[in-house]
Structure 1
Amino acid sequence: MVNSALYNVDAGHRAVIFDRFRGVQDIVLPRIYTSIGEDYNEQVLPSITTEILGSVVARFDAGELIIQRELVSRQVSDDLTKRAATFRLILNDMSLTHLTFWKEFTEAVEAKQVAQQGAERARFVVEKAEQQKKAAIISEGDSKAAELIANSLATAGDGLIELRKLEAAQDIAYQLSRSRNITYLPAGQSVLLQLPQ
């Protein structure tokens, strides 16, 4: 029923509107024809398309235009639909089929991307070298510490080992004292709980 009430009227023509309850109406749709003319599609659409494309493209940089083509296309479609509505034109569909740049511009964008990748690669190499340097310093420090401990054991005898046992026993006693549970150690037992002497 609704489909039978919808008709397309070509530009420059008028339609007679018939209402079953009120009969033939005096209303026609002359606004586009009288304000723009029959060749509205050749006058209005190219100019607003150029206007909208310039406006949208100015919002993005070169890389974004290439990478975010879907977003650019959607923005152009939305803005163009709104702009066409000011001329009482309904834009059903719009798509960007081909987006090209000057050869020099495309080469510059590609060169910039290559340079960014090179910079990222160089940054990675520098960070890797820094990590290797830190690892070498730590390794050297560990070696030096092991050497010092070995030397102190050789010269001090068992004194260092006894000191470490006492420090460990002190730490265990402190932890047990903070515990809510009551812990009993049998008399004569070492705090180190039978660690080899």
Structure 2
Amino acid sequence: MAARFLNRLTAIGTTVGIGGFCIQECIYHVDGGHRAVIFDRKDGILDKSVGEGTHFKIPFFQYPTILDVRSNYRLISSRTGTKDLQNVNISLRCLYRPEIDKLPHIFSEYGADYADRILPAVGNEVLKSIVAQYDAVELLAHRDQVSQQISKEMNERCSNFFLLLDDVAQQDAEGESDAIAKSGSGFIEVQRIDAAREIAETLAKSRNITYLPNQEGGGGGVLLGLQ
């Protein structure tokens, strides 16, 4: 009697174990902000990725790979030369995400670590090509222009790999301070002259501005805005 009970218990346990294994092999779950790319033994990588939720797969024939499709952070650093043959260390902070419709293509071409393969190569190429157009002082003086040029070029290059860049920001470049030190106070004085020229041009075009000189004969007159 006891032996029959143990045999039945063993059979039930075996059935439950096999059933649990089959359920585990037939079902997979995709969390929010992720997509699944399916590799099929017969058809290869399927053309469409699978969204969030619990899904069915054919055990031993289909293998899902879960990929993050949210915006992720990546820092790209490069040591490159300027037009005046100075070396600078420049870094980019990128927020990237893949095009969901092209996710199977990205996975088949570059694998699950596609960002590690694409972004450093593209970033280094863009930084070297753009930094070489400026000398060290110009990199500082035209920082906004350089950043916009880098951002535009990065977006164009990454679109060829079906990556979307939500933000591209240039970090401080090591070597700019050396350029200022070599140029001395002359660089700062040039910046002040340019700023004063812009102010003078703005005042000259305005009819509602008048200048009152100092009555004591010293410098430092007063500008009045007349309404």
TM-score range, shorter chain: 0.3 to 0.5
Task: From the two aligned structures, give the one with the greater strand fraction.
Answer: 2
| Larger relative contact order (CA 8 Å, sep ≥ 6) | 2
Task: From the two aligned structures, give the one with the greater helix fraction.
Answer: 1
Q: What TM-score, normalized by structure 2, do the two folds share?
A: 0.38
Tell me which structure has the larger Cα radius of gyration: 1
